[in-house]
Amino acid sequence: MPDSAQVSFPSDFLWGSATSSYQIEGAVREDGRTPSIWDTFSHTPGKTHNGEHGDTAVDHYHRYREDVALMADLGLNTYRFSVAWPRVQPTGRGPAVQKGLDFYRRLVDELLEKGIAPAVTLYHWDLPQELEDAGGWPARETAYRFAEYAAIVGEALGDRVERWITLNEPWCAAFLGYSSGVHAPGRTDGELALRAAHTLNLAHGLGTSALRAAMPARNTVAVALNSHVVRTVSDDPRDLEAGRRIDDLANGIFHGPMLHGAYPETLFTATASVTDWSFVEEGDLKAIHQPLDALGLNYYTPALVGHAGSAPADAPHSDAHGTGAHSPWPSAEDIVFHQVPGEQTAMGWSVDATGLYDLLKRYDDEAPGLPLYITENGAAYDDRMDADGQVRDHERIAYLHSHLSHVRRAMADGVNVRGYYLWSLMDNFEWAYGYSKRFGMVYVDYETLERTPKASALWYAQAARTGTLADPAPLADPVPDAG
């Protein structure tokens, strides 16, 4: 590892932050927006922490100018946000609602005026409820609806937005939504989850083609994968086999068809008891395997797995994405997830920046030369505002320093990393955890919705402005008011 003083980034490196529509926007019944699966799920008793939901969230829909000014004050040169599908196309079919598109037009204009490059994610989990009622992601028709939606948004914003991402973390959408049921829509059928994964792959491919047909050729299209860094508790062949099965279900199921035009044969073998994969139709893999201009990687923590006998009988059989009676891993219920030793975040996730380095090196091998972006990386901690109005989140500063140092290490080793998006710009609705987990570099008072940059925001702003990583020591001075 290089010393702090030696960690510097190229002048054209992108420094950003990321959010998603349902987590921040609110205004769920305004300007023609209809319910998404997350509206339905979060209003279903027992599905989220304290029954919390995104009806208001942090009211970004009405406060976006304030939020963009804050980004500018923090020196960000790019911002990744997602478009709410039911705000643009309320039923998931047919023409767009212009008032919905107008919000994103205004947001993009505000970003560009402040010198912040927008990066648009088309799908960050808020499927229109009407499409779920028609079958959701397990139904292949949803992929064609997504392509139609992609064309609408690409045509509306493609003249001003150059960076596009089709899907965010399709693993979560498929396996947490349809296998474990801890995410919307809350279904618990392993076969449906595998179908959903394939439909999401098809949606990515069709959506990529639709975007390119609707936008200027200069624009880039990527996908953001939460590719798992899978490690095994030992070199026992049974543990190695467990690791391969999880790797297929976490990674190969998406990067196989997207990057290489084929699913891993070992995936078919391992899941034969769940499905025969007959839902993969002729021509699907060709449609999915569209050339990418870049690849987004989301990383938080590694997974440590072993065979069923490698831990006590009451050890967890799923990773740290929420607890439920059902496993998110079809055909892998016998595999045990071990707690990684060492420091943990408020999510119970291990802090291990070497996993980010390993992830970047892996995808440099998977797709040599393809530009890579860290589209999400960050940590939740139990942040508190002190009596003087400051939030001293020194643990997050140390987390960011270590992870960004390993990004630079990968770049020094020849990996083509172009930018980093910190998750998240501000505290927000954290899915099934409601408002109990704070990932933001900006503190949000959920009573008043006042935004207060944390110490980590100061540290990250300095990194963005200088391209260097300051020693992760406490910072006390407040940032200027956004305005």
Active-site residue set: 169, 376
Please say whether the beta carbons of 427 and 411 come within 8 A. Answer: no
Q: Could you write out the three-class secondary structure of the chain?
A: CCCHHHCECCCCCEEEEECCHHHHCCCCCCCCCCCEHHHHHHCCCCCCHHHCCCCCCCCHHHHHHHHHHHHHHCCCCEEEEECCHHHHCCCCCCCCCHHHHHHHHHHHHHHHHCCCEEEEEEECCCCEHHHHHCCCCCCCHHHHHHHHHHHHHHHHHCCCCCEEEEEECHHHHHHHHHCCCCCCCCCCCHHHHHHHHHHHHHHHHHHHHHHHHHCCCCCEEEEEECCCCEEECCCCHHHHHHHHHHHHHHHHHHHHHHHHCCCCHHHHHHCCCCCCCCCCCCCHHHHHCCCCCCEEEECCCCEEEECHHHCCCCCCCCCCCCCCCCCCCCCCCCCEEECCCCCECCCCCECCCHHHHHHHHHHHHHCCCCCEEEEEECCCECCCCCCCCCCCCHHHHHHHHHHHHHHHHHHHCCCCEEEEEEECCECCCCHHHCCCCECCCEEECCCCCCEEECHHHHHHHHHHHHCECCCCCCCCCCCCCCC
Please say whether the beta carbons of 193 and 178 come within 8 A. Answer: yes
Q: Are strands 295-298 and 220-225 parallel, antiparallel or unpaired?
A: parallel
Q: 165: which strand partners?
A: 121, 222
Residue-level length of the chain: 483
